[in-house]
Amino acid sequence: MAIDDSAVSDVLIVGAGPAGSHLAYLLAQQGLRVTIIDKQAFPRAKVCGGGLSRKAMDLLGFELGAAMHQPIAGAILTYGNRDAVLKEMQPMAACTVVRSEFDKMLLDRACAKGVRFCPETAFVDAVESTDRISVTTSRGVLHSRLLLAADGAASAVRNRLFGKDLVSYVPALEALVWPEEGVLERFGQRALFDFDGMPHGYGWIFPKRDHFNIGVYSPFGGAALRQHLDRFSAAYASLQRPRKIEYQGYIIPLANRRRQFQRGRVWLLGDAAGLAEALFGEGIYFALKSATLAARAIAADGLRADSMAYSRLLRRELLPELRAANWMAQLVYRFPKLTFSHLVLNQRINQDFAGLISGQMGYRRCLLKTVLGFPRWLMPSKAPDPDSLLA
C-alpha cells in the first residue's frame, strides 16, 4: 500500500534496529513527531551474536524481561581450550538476547510513545530543500526536518548520500547450535572467548535459552571463515553432535574513513556510521550510545540543518573509546598467543579485560593501565586447570 503523506515529521528515522528505535523513543519523550521506516516487517530475523553488555542495559534504563535469554555472570577466557581462566562477574555483567525479539521490544516501546512505524518501506533517495528533506521510499514520499539513518552496516542512506566508501568493514561468521540435552545447563551462565578462535582474532560461545551462538571474527578480516569456525567448534565437547546447526555471515563496520557523520539534514548512527568497536566486534552499545548523543544534540540545538552538535558529541564521547579499542585489538590480535600468556592470564590484568566485557572498564582506561603495567606482564602467567572450567 502506498504512503500518501504531505505532513512534515520532525524526524524521519530509517531503520528500526536498536539505534533507530531507541532514538525514536528518546525523541518522542521530547515531544517530537517521529516516523520510523524499515524495509522489513517486524519481528524479523537479524544476524548478530546477541551479547548485551551491562553498560548497554544501563543505557536503556529498563528491565528486558522475557527478551533476556541468559544472564551472563562469568567469562571464560581461553586459548584453544587448552589454557583458560574463569572471571566471575557480579553483579550480572551482561546477557544474551535474540535480536528479532530484542529489536521488536525496543520498537514496541517507541510506538507506545506515539512513534509512527512504516514497515516494508525501503529508503530510495532524499532531496533537501530550505526547511525540510523529502525522502523517496518504496511506498511513496515522506517529508521531515531531519533524516537520521540507523539502517545498519549496509546502510542504503549512507551509500546513496555519503558514498559507498565511507565505512570500512570486516566479515564475521556465526552459527546457531542446538546442542544435545543438558549441555546448555552444564555450560551455565557464562560466555566464552577463545583467542585462538581464528588467526589474529577470536571465537565466542554465547548461551541462549535453547541454543548456543558461536562465531569467529578478526579485526584484520580474513578468508575461509567456515574452516576457522569448524576448527574452533571442534575444540569443544559441548558443541559436538548438535541436533541442529545454522550458519550465518555478516559484516562489522569498524571505521568511518572520513569521520563524517552529518551532511545537512542527514545524520548517520550506529553501524550506518561505522561505530562498531574493533576488539570484540561489538556494535549494540555504540549504536545505543550514538542514539543517546543524537537525542542530546537535538535537545540542545533543535532541528537545525546547520547544527554540528551531534558530530561534536561523537568526537568527544564516543570516538576516543573506539580509537582505544582499535589499539587494544592491534595489541591483542597481532601476537595472540603471546598476548594471551602474558596479558590475559595475568590476574592483575585479566580483571580489566573482564571489565571491558561488562562495560565497567572503558577502553581508554584499560589501554592506559595495560601500557603502564608493562613491567608486570613481561613474564608469562600460568592458567588454572581448565577441566574445572569447560564442559
Distances 303 to 133, 149, 298, 307 between C-alpha atoms, Å: 12, 15, 6, 8
Question: In the numeric block, which cell numbers belong to residue 323?
Answer: 580509537
| Residue 137: per-residue pLDDT | 97
Please give the average per-residue pLDDT across 276-298, as a whole number.
97
Q: Is the pLDDT of residue 285 over 80?
A: yes
- CB-hemisphere CA count at 13 Å for 14? 35
Q: Which of 87-91, 121-125, 128-132, 271-275 has the lowest mean pLDDT?
A: 87-91
Q: How far is CA 158 from the centre of its chain?
A: 18
Concatenating the DSSP letter of every residue in 303-359 gives T-TT--HHHHHIIIIIHHHHHHHHHHHHHHHHSHHHHIIIIIT-HHHHHHHHHHHHT
Q: Is the pLDDT of residue 377 over 60?
A: no
d(CA 60, CA 72): 18
Q: Is the pLDDT of residue 356 over 90?
A: no
**In the sheet that 68-72 helps form, which strands lie side by side, from edge to edge?**
51-53, 94-97, 68-72
Taking only the tens place, the pLDDT of each residue in 220-247 is 998 999 999 999 999 999 899 999 999 9
Please give the average per-residue pLDDT across 346-354, as a whole number.
78
| Residue 313: per-residue pLDDT | 98
d(CA 338, CA 333): 9
Distances 175 to 78, 97, 172, 229, 276 between C-alpha atoms, Å: 19, 15, 10, 8, 20
Please give the average per-residue pLDDT across 147-174, as a whole number.
97
Residue for grid cell 510513545: 113
Residue 123, strand partner residues: 137
Q: Is the pLDDT of residue 208 over 50?
A: yes
pLDDT band at 88 (very low <50, low <70, confident <90, very high): confident
d(CA 3, CA 1): 7
**In the sheet that 83-88 helps form, which strands lie side by side, from edge to edge?**
83-88, 74-79, 190-194, 202-207, 212-217, 167-178, 244-256
Integer distance in angstroms from the first to the last C-alpha of the chain?
Answer: 52
pTM of the model: 0.94
Please give the average per-residue pLDDT across 206-214, as a whole number.
96
Distances 205 to 31, 67, 72, 234 between C-alpha atoms, Å: 42, 19, 12, 12
Contact 216, 203 (CB under 8 A): yes
Concatenating the DSSP letter of every residue in 63-131 gives --GGGEEEEE-EEEEEETTTEEEEEE-TTT-EEEE-HHHHHHHHHHHHHHTT-EEE-S--EEEEEE-SS
Which of these, 116, 41, 25, 80, lies nearest to 193 by C-alpha position?
80
Q: Is the pLDDT of residue 280 over 80?
A: yes
Listed in sequence order, the residues at least 6 apart from 302 whose beta carbon sits closer than 8 Å to its beta carbon are: none
Taking only the tens place, the pLDDT of each residue in 56-87 is 999 999 999 999 999 999 999 999 998 888 88
Question: In the numeric block, which cell numbers belong to residue 376?
Answer: 608486570
Please give the average per-residue pLDDT across 342-370, as a whole number.
83
Contact 133, 266 (CB under 8 A): yes
- Helices 284-301 and 18-29, packing angle to 10 deg: 30
Q: Is the pLDDT of residue 196 over 80?
A: yes
Concatenating the DSSP letter of every residue in 219-235 gives TT--S-HHHHHHHHHHT
| Residue 376: per-residue pLDDT | 63
Which of these, 17, 9, 47, lies nearest to 290 by C-alpha position?
17
| Residue 140: per-residue pLDDT | 95
Residue for grid cell 525479539: 101
Q: Is the pLDDT of residue 323 over 60?
A: yes
Mean pLDDT score of the chain = 92
pLDDT over 70, % of the chain: 94
Q: What angle do CA 30, 7, 11 make, to 5 degrees?
A: 35
Q: Is the pLDDT of residue 248 over 80?
A: yes
Contact 43, 105 (CB under 8 A): no
Residue 35, strand partner residues: 12, 116
pLDDT band at 386 (very low <50, low <70, confident <90, very high): very low
d(CA 339, CA 347): 13
| Residue 89: per-residue pLDDT | 80
Q: Which of 49-63, 82-96, 131-145 has the lowest mean pLDDT?
A: 82-96
| Residue 383: per-residue pLDDT | 57
Q: Is the pLDDT of residue 275 over 60?
A: yes
